[in-house]
Structure formats: structure tokens, C-alpha cells
Amino acid sequence: MARESNAWEQSSKESISFNVLDCDLNVDLAIVGGGFTGTSAALEAARAGASVALLEAHAIGHGGSGRNVGLVNAGLWLPPDQVEAQMGVAPGRRLNDILAAAPEVVFGLIADHGIACDPVRNGTLHLAHSSKGLKSLKNRLAQQQARQAPVTLLDARETARRVGSGAFHGALWDRRAGTINPLAYNRGLARAARDAGAGLYENTPVTRISHQNGGWQLTAVNHTVRAQSLLVATNAYHEDMPGFRTPRAPKVSYFQMALRPDTACDEILSSILPGGEGCWDTGLIMTSVRRDSQGRILFGAIGRPNGAGRRIHLNWARRAFDRIFPQLASAALDGFWSGEISMPADHIPKIINFGPQAVAVMGYSGRGIAPGTVFGQRCARMLVSGQQDELPVDTAQSYAEAAVRAKSAFYEFGARLIHFGAYR
Ligand SMILES: Cc1cc2nc3c(=O)[nH]c(=O)nc-3n(C[C@H](O)[C@H](O)[C@H](O)COP(=O)(O)OP(=O)(O)OC[C@H]3O[C@@H](n4cnc5c(N)ncnc54)[C@H](O)[C@@H]3O)c2cc1C
């Protein structure tokens, strides 16, 4: 099988490029990393009148933001009761409330800035892959209804009608959510930030950070950026920057395949997700399925599709896809790609206050479109206005889990084991 090729690159209607940094700069806010967090922060700060320099080591969307499934979900992956149990009731409720409203922020930015990222706001479906999965969805339903969230539990028949597959026991439909082309959204945020006056630089890895003379100094491609405030938004794709203590959390790999159905089966195809909902399931090793603007079906799962795991994961995915959609067994593989997800042990995102007027954000645990957008906005507001209460979570001074490599390997080993042995 050929090397990875990202379907979002082929279908993105937003295209943008930025120069390499070629001079020294003096700004109010420096941002390292051009994913959702960094570009949303750049837009927010520039709109508030701050001078901004965003430095990206590769291209905008190189990290998780350009490799994502594109499900704009409300809340975290953890159910809201668990968020409150882990963080404490008041801070947990505050985070739940902010993230419940976060898809509105994303779709608002898309509309305000005319971002051409194929938004479809018809909700997402959390699919029950087993009767146990259905039980856990009923529990989530009760928690969401207690918070007046617009969610509905669909029975197996209605789920089959919406998905075009009888493989599921039911689904939780969340009408706050929707789908986008995530790479196009990320590029659109970057374009809007540039239009608001921010300076963005690609192929500009930051290789050193220091705090001196009351300000921050960043070294990148033989130039210096001096800034009053600093946001590090490098998350799972962090590349070493001496002077900055890298937060350490395990990583989980996730891959997707784009399948192009035979055009002869147009009628069959129109029965697959006709409402355009994005879906993921309740399986321990999660899978996702959605359509894209080119009519392809994007099927994804946890696993690293290179090295020893490549054959196991890709063979499993093809068999699983054929089982869920036997009517599309002739669909041709039209690309596959993968990405890394930062997954702290408690699955709660972290904001690290690592120095004066400086924060780093990481650990969205696979829920980064809406959280990344609002965490970026709120960090920017805090760094520009100095108001700590803008932040959605309390800050920590550092974050370093033990045995990070072993835990990451454990996740991948589990995924291989299940994909090798199981055929759900
Ligand atoms: C395969 C996959 C599927 C996902 N699906 C979904 C989904 O459907 N819905 C959802 O909500 N979330 C999803 N997520 C999670 C979401 O994509 C991430 O949480 C989110 O993209 C993180 O955004 P970010 O801006 O914090 O980091 P990133 O997008 O990872 O950006 C970090 C950037 O920092 C840059 N960088 C690193 N080091 C340096 C340096 N030294 N100097 C300069 N730049 C540097 C990197 O090049 C990178 O571009 C998915 C993630 C993956 C990987």
C-alpha cells in the first residue's frame, strides 16, 4: 500500500501559505504552533488590537488540527458528571458549560469569516456498538438531559436509517454538533488572523525560549522574536525548544481511510449518512465514520498504521468497513493518513503557566476542534488583558506524567491486539 495521503489536503477549499520569518520582531504576543489553538488565539488577540507573531515549524495544520476526523462536538470525551467528579463540582461545571457552547463558537467563526470548510450542522451520532455500549449511552443521555442539552437517544431502527447500516444498537444524537473539513477550518482561522493584522510564519521552528529583561525571547531560523506574552500551542506535535520544560502526556495514534464508492452504486450511496452526521462509536478501541464533500466515506480507528502495526490496522479497518457497509464492499481505498492525540491520564485539558505572562495548552484527548478554539481564544484574552478568570481551567505550573512512552506503547499494543484478534 502507498504512503500516507491526507484526504483533507485534496478537498480543502481554503489554501494559504506564509513566509518563513526573515527579520527580528517585537510584539505583544508570540504564539508557537499553528493548529486550532494557536490560530484561534492569534485571531482573538489581533482583533483585540495586540501585535501578534505566530511561528509554525511546518505548515498551518501540520499537527492534529489538519489530520482530524472533523467532528465538532460539544463537551469533552468524558461524560460531564465525570468531569465534575474529577475536577470538583464548580470548576467541572464551568468547563462543561464553556465546552457545551463551544460548537456555537466554531460555527460562528466559520460564518463570520466565511471559512470554506464544508460545515454541516446536523449533529453527531455516538453509535452503540453493543448492548453494553447502548447502556453507557443511556447514562450519557441522562447526564446531558439533566443539563438541558439537545440530545436524543435513537433506537436501532432509526440509527440504521440514518447511518445506512444495521450494525448498531442505537445512537445518541447531539444536535449542538456538526462536521467540518478540519484542515480548511484551521487554514481559514489563519487567514482571518492575518486579515486582522497578525503576522504568521510557516517553516519557522522555534528552537529556544528564554525570559530576560522582563520579556520573552524566542529564537527561530536565526532571528529573534521579543514578546511581552507567550502562548505555546504545540500540544502532541511539540518539537523541542530548550528553555521550555516540555509537558509530558501519553500519545494515542488514530488513522483514517478515505473510501471512494463505485459510482455505479449512487443509489446505495445516497442511503449512507444522508443527513451528513459525523459518527463515532462506543467501542473500547474507538472507530469513526463520516462522509466528506467529495462523497467519500472516511473510516477511522485508534492505531498507528505504520511499522509493525500497519498491516494489522489497515486489514482490520477494511474488514470492519465491509462488515458495517456490506453494500459498499467494492469501495476503493483513496488514501489513508494518521495523527497523534495527546491523552493525559485524567483526559482533562491542561493549561500550564510556565512563567510571567506565559501559558502552554495541551491534552484535549481527541476533542480539540471546539475546545482548541475556545482555549485559544480565552488564553489570548488572558494574555492580552491579564485577566485570569478568562481561562476555562485552573493553571498548573508544570505537567509531567511518569512512564509516558510505556503508556503510549500500551495504547498501541491494545489497539493491535484488538484489531488482530477481533472482528467486532
Ligand atoms: C487523527 C485525529 C483525529 C481527531 N479527530 C478529532 C475530531 O473529530 N474532533 C475533535 O474535536 N478533535 C479531534 N482530534 C483532536 C484535535 O485534532 C486536536 O486536539 C487539536 O488539533 C489540537 O490542536 P492544537 O492547536 O492544540 O495542536 P496541533 O494542531 O497539533 O498544532 C500544534 C502545532 O505546533 C507546531 N509546533 C510544534 N513544535 C513547534 C516548534 N518548536 N516551533 C514551531 N511550531 C511548532 C506543530 O508543527 C503543529 O502544527 C483528532 C486528532 C487526531 C490526531
> Which structural domain, as residue segments, surrounds residue 191?
7-421
How far, in Å, CA of 4 to CA of 275, rounded? 29
Q: Taking a C-beta distance cutoff of 8 angstroms, is the pair 100, 392 a contact?
A: no
Per-residue model confidence as pLDDT tens digits over 61-71: 999 999 999 99
Residue 268 alpha carbon to ligand 1 centre in Å: 35
Residue-wise burial string across 192-217, b where 16 or more C-beta atoms lie within 10 A, e elsewhere: bbbebebbbbbbbbbbebeeeeebbb
| 152 Cα–ligand 1 center, Å | 30
How far apart (Å, rounded) are the C-alpha atoms in residues 64 and 59?
12
> For residue 112, is it within any domain?
yes
Q: Which pLDDT does position 263 carry in this prediction?
A: 64
- Strands 223-232 and 358-362, sheet pairing: parallel
What is the pLDDT at residue 424? 45
Mutation probe of ligand 1 site: the residue of 65, 279, 411 with most atoms within 8 A of C-beta: 65
Mutate to test the pocket of ligand 1, among 54, 106, 235, 239 (most ligand atoms within 8 A of CB): 235
**Which CATH number covers residue 282?**
3.50.50.60
Helix (H) or strand (E) holding 289: strand 287-291
Task: Look at residue 1 and tell me if it is in a domain.
Answer: no
- Ligand 1: which of 298, 341, 375 to mutate, judged by most atoms within 8 Å of the beta carbon? 341
d(CA 134, CA 320): 19
The ligand 1 atom at the shortest distance from the C-alpha of residue 70 is 8
3 state SS of 304: coil
Evaluate whether residue 97 is within a structural domain: yes
Nearest C-alpha neighbor of 359 from the set 341, 339, 386: 386
Q: What is the pLDDT of residue 337?
A: 95
Separation of 326 CA from ligand 1 center, angstroms? 33
C-alpha cell at 127: 453509535
Condensed to tens digits (0 to 9), the pLDDT of residues 245-295 reads 999 999 999 999 999 887 657 778 889 999 999 999 998 888 999 999 998
Give the CA count within 13 Å in the CB-facing half-sphere of 245: 10
Distance 235 CA to ligand 1 centre (A): 6
* Residue at 316 is within a domain: yes
Distance 33 CA to ligand 1 centre (A): 9
Q: Exposure of 267 by Cβ count < 10 A (0-12 exposed, 13-18 middle, 19+ buried)?
A: exposed
Beta bridge partners of 341: 252
Provide the residue count of the chain: 424
Closest by CA position to 73, among listed 223, 203, 174, 222: 174
Would 240 be classed as within a structural domain?
Answer: yes
Atom of ligand 1 nearest to the CA of 338: 1
Ligand 1 binding residues, C-beta < 6 A: 32-38, 55-58, 62-65, 67-71, 73, 205-206, 233-239, 241, 254, 339-341, 364, 366-369, 372
Indicate the number of domains in the chain: 1
In a domain, 2, yes or no: no
CA separation for the pair 357, 384 (Å, rounded): 9
Could you say which residues of the chain have pLDDT below 50? 423-424
Residue 234 forms part of a structural domain: yes
Burial classification of residue 103, based on how many CB atoms lie within 10 Å of its CB (0-12 exposed, 13-18 middle, 19 or more buried): buried
Q: What's the distance, CA 392 to chain centroid? A: 17
